[in-house]
Structure 1
Amino acid sequence: MRPSSLREKLLELYVEQNIDEVDKYDMVSAQRCVINYLRKKYDDKKIRRILDDLHSKHDLLNESKELKKKAQLSQYIDSIVLSRIRDSYKSSQILDIDSLDSVKFKALVKQVLIHFGYDILFVPLYNLNNIDIIVHRKDIKIAVLAIKGETGSLVGLKTIRQLRYIANYYHCEQGLILTNTYFDTEAINEASNISITLLDRDKLIPLVQDLVDGRQEKDKEYLIDEIEKQEDSIFLEGEIKFPKTKVQVVYVKYYIDDDSSFLTFEGKLFNSGKRPASNISVDIKLFNRNNDCIYMKNFPLNKEKLESKEEISFKFYFNEIPREDWENLCRYQLKLEYKNTYKE
């Protein structure tokens, strides 16, 4: 797995805008795409040079047309899968997930997620061993990977770690892998430590059957609970920065606390290294829609040392943000600071 390139991001933008000539693309949207990808503010001339360079090296117009055809094909595949679901319901037979090819299996997974109340935020058009879907539910952004495996095959540790990396790139708090096969022991152990949910064959088939039957099951232990309606809510894009790879953020969420009305962050950290880490602190910055950092806090953890393979929870809040500023906030950046301990 790998993150999308700037070229692929621009191609997806051109597909959305239905561009048929290179000089007709929306420059403002293209500039925003470049800034969001590079996460740096450049002047218009610099961005224009970047765009001109990409257009000189790649035939983005024809590539975007091919992507548009792919998007139309995806819609056609969705219709085929929906037809298979209806046929299974009418015949009272279980839908055979093993009979689906990889593309149709991914389309089926998308229908399962929609059925259980997940909002589809993003389906990458340019999908080269990347995630399949990004979904959102209960203020949690989740990267989803659907794996159609051969009978008897196992999904391994490498896939779990790659999904965590891609999920961080897309600022997703959690990851979800669904497969028609099973996971090996190492994958299961790793997933529990880095906030990746695994749905193997035995868990997926009942969900598919529920989709076929048209029922809305509730309180599935491996799915997020029903969305709670909250009068006070806020939605932020998230970015997690790691100074090293030793201490990992395995889970993070934010919400408006019902009692205090403070913006609250809570989550878990895990020391995946072989040695302890000390002086751990969580640095959180909040940005407005102009990408200006308007609130910033550093929260030291109340623990002198985090041992190897140890997990710790954290919970912090911003008590100085007035209610009228909530709608101006659009992004948070979380960064870990700590020291490696080499000698006892």
Structure 2
Amino acid sequence: MSEVLARGRELRSRGRTRLTRPRTYVWIAGAVLLLALPFYLDRFWLQAGLFAMAAAIGAIGINLLTGATGQLSMGHAFFLAIGAYGYCVFAGEGGDTGLTGLGLPTWIAAALAVGVAGIAGGLFSPIAGRLRGAYLGIATLALIFIGQHVLFNAHDLTGGSNGRDVPPLSVFGITFDDSEMVVAAVPFGASEKLWYAGLVLLLGCGLFARGVLRGRPGRAMNAIRDHRIAAGVIGVPVARYRAGVFVLSSMYAGLAGVLLALVFQRTVPDYFGMTLSLEYLAMIVIGGLGSVAGAVAGAAVVSLLPQLLTRYSDALPLVSAPGSGGITPGEASRYLYGAAVVAVVLFLPGGLASIAARRSRPTSGPTSGESGEER
């Protein structure tokens, strides 16, 4: 009985220690800051943050597939396009526009779009289960070419090269459009409202992925990544896990596509090309393979860099406005995060997440009475 009481006191002491760590206060301050930003930032910065949130959701998905399970995918943009255009088809109105639209409630349309992206991933998963490495990457790259052909030629569904408008999301009586809603004397438009929706979606996706990686599925995924045959020998259902992760990653991409469409307010086929898939691979390499926090950090770097270069192109050397003949902000950003990928591979294999892991690693040895098993 005394041992049980002592153990309880030890657990409570550890809980109080965690609450008093500086890292806890940093997280609390960061959360308060994110919640307060829509009251102070203008539309540009809010949209930049929303792009980063959508990119982070998609990056978490591809990190589960490539970083944690070792399945190389270069077709992530295909599933983002399914989410974006699927939402437009399910929620859009037909009629005089000449475009197909089912006119469903927008929150149902968003859920269906994510589900269709998952179904598309499930249909492709048998192929993914048979291929590995570069062969799988080439097979997923074919999805980009198929997707681009469909997006440009299926005019009734996609609007062709001109794209189609995105119906605003409406949930619990709140419509996420530019109709202003005053909160604490601050007018809230589409960007301000979507900011909080994006935070909720990103938090939910991050916590779910973290739970997957820290539980039994995560250990199985890592075993498949490190040694597929040995994982099968010890009883891991390799084919089932690889198919399941591909479906889950596709659903994350579909959700990211829906959020991107809501932020852009118009979908265009050119955006969902090979460049976008390569950007997602750059995100997880820069942030750190197999890490949820690393995926978010890498997404922030890759998605925010071109927008910052565009905004401050006049003050930056060698960077000029688009159409002026010099290096455009988009080209400059690709050069920079391309160099960042090379630097990370050579000097920081764990990505940005490894820096935080090193700082949080305890430097002192175990205290007296603490065994190696308890550590």
Report the TM-score range of the alignment, normalised by the length of the smaller protein. Answer: under 0.3
Larger relative strand fraction: 1
TM-score (structure 2 length as normaliser): 0.21
Question: More relative contact order in 1 or in 2 (CA 8 Å, sep 6+)?
Answer: 2
TM-score (structure 1 length as normaliser): 0.22
